[in-house]
Each structure stands twice: as C-alpha cells, then as structure tokens.
Amino acid sequence: MCGIVGYAGFGDAKEFLLSALHNLEYRGYDSAGIAATNGDEIRTIKRAGRVKGLEETINGEFANATSGIGHTRWATHGAPTDKNAHPHFSYDGKVAIAHNGIIENHSELKRRLEADGIAFESETDSEVVAHLIARHMEAGDTLLSATKKASRRLKGLSVILAISSNEPDTVVGIRIGYAGSLLLGESADGWMLASNAAAMPTDVNEVTPIDHCEAVSINRNRSMIVDVAGNVVDKAPVTIRAENRISEINEYARFMHKEISEQAATIQGAFRGRVDFSERRIEIPELRVLPSDVNRIVFAGMGTSHFAAMYGARQTERLARIPTSVEYAGELADRDPVMGERDVMVAVTQSGETYDTLVAIEKAKASGSATAVVTAHIHSEAARMADVAIDIGSGLEVAVPATKTFINSMLVLYMFSLQLGHVSGRLTDHEFERHVESIVSLPGAINRVLGREAQIAELARKRFADVTNMLILGRGDHYPIALEGALKMKETAYIHAEGCSASEMKHGINALIEPSTPTIALVPNDGEFRTKMLTSIYEVQSRRGEVIALASEGDIEVEAIADDVIPIALNEENHSPFLMTIPLQQLAYHAALARGIDPDRPRNLAKTVTVA
C-alpha cells in the first residue's frame, strides 16, 4: 500500500524523490521520508504526516545527492510517527531501505538479531531488512547480492528498495509476491524505480515491470534486472498511457471534486474503441478470448469494486441469462472454491494490485477457469495475470474515495453483459440497439445530474454536518448503489452509514430508525421496486424517521411523502443506477467539507491495498 521510489543518475535526487512522493501520496500518507547518499555517508529525513511536511523540513539538505530512495507510508506495524517512518537504517548506518508489504516472520528475525546485539530503533517489521542486508554486506556481498539473500529469509510479500554507502551510486530493488508493483524507468538524466507510473517524470514514456522474484539494480549509467538464480533478464518495456499520469487539479479545490465533476467526460473513455454510435453496436474485443460455452461467471472484487461487481453480475444474469455469483475476493481467496473449465472469473480491481483479488485470480486459474480483469491500470499485476484485461478508460484516480472508477467499472460491465447477451442470442437486435441508444445519451444525463450540486451541498451542510448514523436503502439494481453510497459516507465523512436492501428492513434494520438517523431512499421511476420503495418510506416515517429520497425529477408522489427530495433528471430507467450514484458521491464530499475533513485523504486508508 505504501509508495516507494528510487533514483540514480546525474540529476538532483532530492527533487525527483519529493516530486515522485507527492504523486504517490495516495498510496499512503501516514508519514514520508527520503534517504540519499552524500559522499561516503547516507543521510535521511523522515516525518510523520504528509509529504508537504517532509518537504518543508528538508531545506538545503541533500543538495549534492545524485542517488537515493523515498517512501510514503500506510502504517501496518507501529504507529505513524517520525521514528517508524521509512527509510530505515541498518545497525552500522551503511544501509537504508524502503519497504512495502508485511514480513510475517519479523518477530522471529528480530529476536535473532537482538540476540546478536543489534538494537532496533523502530516498531516496524521493515527494519529487520536493513539489518539483514548490512550483515550480508559485512560478509563481503554486494548490495544486490545482499538484498537477494536477505529477501530469501523473509516470509510474506514485499517490495524493497535499498541503498548503501559502500556503493553510493547504486539503488537495488526486489519484488516478492503481490505486495504492489515495482516499475523501472529511464529519464534523460538517470534511472528510477517506483510503485506506479504516476511517479515517473514526464520524459519517461516507457516502464519495465519488475516481476515476482526479480531484482533490479540501477546506477547513473545502466540498469540490470536479474532472476533468483542471478541470470540477467531481458524484457520489453510497456508504454505509459497519458491517462496514467496525474492530471492538473485546475480550478478544483480537491481531486475528489474534480473526479466527480468530470464523470460525463470520463465515461467516454469506456466507449473508446468499443461503441459504434452510427451502427448502434458495442464490441469489447478482449471478450473474444473467453470461452463461448460459459457455464457460470463469478464476479469478484473488494470495497467499491465489489459493489461494481454486484451490479455487473445482475446485468449479466438479466441480459445474457448466464448464471452468476458475486464474491468478496478476500473471502474467495480464503477458501477452496468449486470452479471449473467452463467457469469464468471476472475480477474488478481499480488499481490492479489489490492483494485479495490477485490471490482470487490465482485460485481461479489453478482451477482451470478463464479469468478476466476489469481495471483502470491495464499494465498492472492483475492485468498481466488474467487471460483478458479490460481497461475501464477512466484514467488515473487520485482521491482515495473511488468515484469515476466506480461509474466506469459499472459501465464496462454493463457493455460486457450486453455483448454476451447479443452474441448468445438472448438479446434480439432490436433490444441490443435500444440499450446502445440508451448508453449514447448517458453523458448528457450525467451532466444534468451534476448541475444539482448546489442543492446537495446545502443539504450536506444543513443535515449531515453533525450526523452520527444514517441508512441508505435500495432494491434491485439500486442495492449495490446504496452499499456504495454508504461506503462513501463512511470513508469520506466518517459517518456510520449502513447500505441496506429495503427488503431487509423488517428483519432487524427497523430497530435502528429514530429521528436522529436520517434515511436516504433510492426510488425507481417505475416498476414493482418503485411501489416497494414507497412502502419502505412509509415504514421509516411511521417510526419517526426522516427520509431523503432520490427520485425522478417531477415525481409528485415522492415529493408529497418524503421529508426532502434530490431530483434526478431521469429519462432512461437504465441510467438510474449511474445517475443515483453521483448525488451520493457529492453528498459524501460536501458532508466531509462540512465536518472539516479532507475528502481526498481519509484517515487510516490508502488508495491501493497490497496487503492482506
């Protein structure tokens, strides 16, 4: 989950490391630090808190440094303090390391090192790595050899960067398992290593992924990748797409606000190369690789991606009439699922690095099932593992709460379901074309909903600045939206929100209703679920609960019974899950501001979850 960077070249190491850490701060922002070689010694500065605080502390330090490493932390072992911030030093001061992952046997290793007289300065599991590398170098190993030997003693998943005053121009990296990516890039003035392409300078157009059990060594003149046996690995780089760069925040105060507000444009990235508007056709070319005689599709994801997977499973069942199931990837990874050759796993992962989802993909592949990944990072580990990688076209999302990646994931899964249904003959040409026409008009519908933000901001200030608990109710396609809306409130505004199926109200949830607990009800435009949601509103109000309804613009019946209404300009019922998502995102964003919370960087969270 942490962000790590390394640099070796002819330029200013400090400037690269600080810039890269700013771009990787979404991966963790409990603390940050850099270590750089300066002559025959290593200097480090590290601070609890944001990268900005680190930058303000450095002043004139590292002025002549041309190699170094940096780290921005999401704490696992040890509190987010200066002492526990990375990089960590070895007992002799000659080695510094930055680490992402968890060392499962660190307690055992620490006891052995302490028995040999080595004192520990931090509470982290990571510090053992620096001491182990230093021990091997003391015995005569090079930094590369020592790092490889030390890594063999670690249980768990790790990405490690190391520098040594014995080899002041060298940075070594190694990757063990699914602890996040490690990418190698070359700029005009040197070589660099980073967790994500977003950290690379603008003149780096290609990166080379470092795979499991590979190590890499860089200095100002060259780079070298080796495998566990020490053999040099020659591999082709991949191009960095423009959308994988962090965009300018422009007139927006927060990235979350920017990413919500640009969704009408963002979803067109999901259309690119797939939707022929003139012919009213959709084709996701990658699906040709999947078996045609699919028996079952298992959708899996974590967090927001799980809720997108829920929506996708419902559409696939409804439109393609293929049996589906939905799994939390972490739960599936923890058991022995019954899957076979005619099953397909569709893993949804915004980052493509989510540990639980990677393990779930691995289990599906071991069972003989085909695998597809739906992701915003087409060069990620998940994309390389799966048989098929489907880019959601959203570009890089910077704010920790997912917004545009959720909408784009749902849209790609909707198109996925339509294609399967049409190819199988479950959808007639007329039905298929009707859905395509609906999709074509979605950007305009999203723009109309975005235009209601002022009303939602006022509601957030008036009603949600001091709320402790709340409920969000939905049924059918709106149930995953209720779950996602509740998650946004939890992670962005720190409000205990429960996303519920309205069908569950009588089975325990009614006990939570009271005047101080507002309920948001997602009311469809028509159909049986509309009648059932109206009944749920009456039930809440009969127990003195307040109801805020999301309903179609001009819905007189809902306006007459709800305490407040957020109107949705809804012309197509198929648009409803997308359009009801956006006010919930805006409400969470403005509730966070009303409560004095930075919505881009919620406490205790990070954008990319690379640990179990």
Q: What is the mean pLDDT of residues 324-338?
A: 91
| pLDDT at residue number 462 | 93
pLDDT at residue 472, rounded to an integer: 97
Ramachandran quadrant class, 596 (left: phi over 0; alpha: psi -120 to 50; beta: rest): left
| E-strand stretches of 502-538 | 519-522
| Whether the Cβ atoms of residue 89 and residue 130 lie closer than 8 Å to each other | yes
d(CA 120, CA 90): 9
Amino acid (1-letter code) at residue 379:
H
Longest dimension (CA), the chain: 81
Q: Is the pLDDT of residue 411 over 80?
A: yes
| Spatial separation of the C-alpha atoms in residues 171 and 71, rounded to whole Å | 14
Over residues 498-518, the pLDDT tens digits come to 999 999 988 998 999 999 999
Q: Which of 331, 317, 313 is nearest to 374 (CA)?
A: 313
Enumerate the domain spans of the chain.
3-240, 248-440, 451-612
CA distance 588 to 582: 10
pLDDT at position 299 over 90: yes
CATH topology of domain 248-440: Rossmann fold (3.40.50)
Q: Is pLDDT above 80 for 245?
A: no
| Assigned token pair, 550 | 């999301």
Helix-helix angle 479-493:304-315, to 10 degrees: 170
The mean per-residue pLDDT over the stretch 338-351 comes to 93
Is the pLDDT assigned to residue 380 strictly greater than 90? no
Better-predicted residue by pLDDT, 72 or 249? 72
Is the confidence at residue 389, as pLDDT, over 80? yes
Rounded Cα distance between 199 and 239, Å, is: 14
Among residues 311, 493, 511, 504, which one has the least CA distance to residue 411?
311
Which pLDDT score, from 0 to 100, does residue 286 have? 87
Q: pLDDT confidence of 247, banded at 50, 70, 90? A: low
Check if the beta carbon of residue 98 is closer than 8 Å to that of residue 68: no
The answer to whether 207 and 20 have CB atoms below 8 angstroms apart is no
Sheet holding 167-176, edge to edge: 88-89, 95-103, 156-164, 167-176, 214-218, 223-226
160-210: pLDDT as tens digits: 999 999 999 999 999 988 777 899 999 989 999 998 888 898 889 899 999
The predicted structure's pLDDT at residue 202 = 85
Angle at CA of residue 547, ends 545 and 550, nearest 5°? 160
Which are the catalytic amino acids? Answer: 2, 607
Q: What is the pLDDT of residue 336?
A: 86
**H/E segment holding residue 298:** strand 296-301
The tens digit of pLDDT for each residue in 551-566 reads 999 999 999 999 999 9
The arithmetic mean of pLDDT across residues 140-166, rounded, is 93
Bridge partners, residue 299, by sequence: 326, 346
- 123-141 pLDDT, tens digit each: 999 999 999 999 999 999 9
Grade residue 157 by pLDDT with cuts at 50, 70 and 90. confident
Within 10 angstroms of residue 540's Cβ, the number of other Cβ atoms is 24
- Among all chains, which residue has been given the structure tokens 């709800």? 562
* Digit-coded pLDDT (tens) for 55-114: 888 877 888 888 999 999 888 888 889 999 999 999 999 999 999 888 889 899 999 999
- β-partners of residue 372 are 346, 388
Q: Which CATH class is domain 3-240?
A: alpha beta
The reply to whether domains 3-240 and 451-612 share a CATH topology is no
Q: What are phi and psi of 587, to 5 degrees?
A: -65, -45
pTM of the model: 0.85
Rounded CA-CA distance 610/181 in Å is 9
Amino acid at 81: T
Return the CATH fold of 451-612. Answer: Rossmann fold (3.40.50)
24-58 pLDDT, tens digit per residue, is 887 888 899 999 987 778 999 999 988 888 888 88
**How many Å apart are CA 200 and CA 178, to the nearest integer?**
21
Alpha carbon distance 17, 195 (integer Å): 12
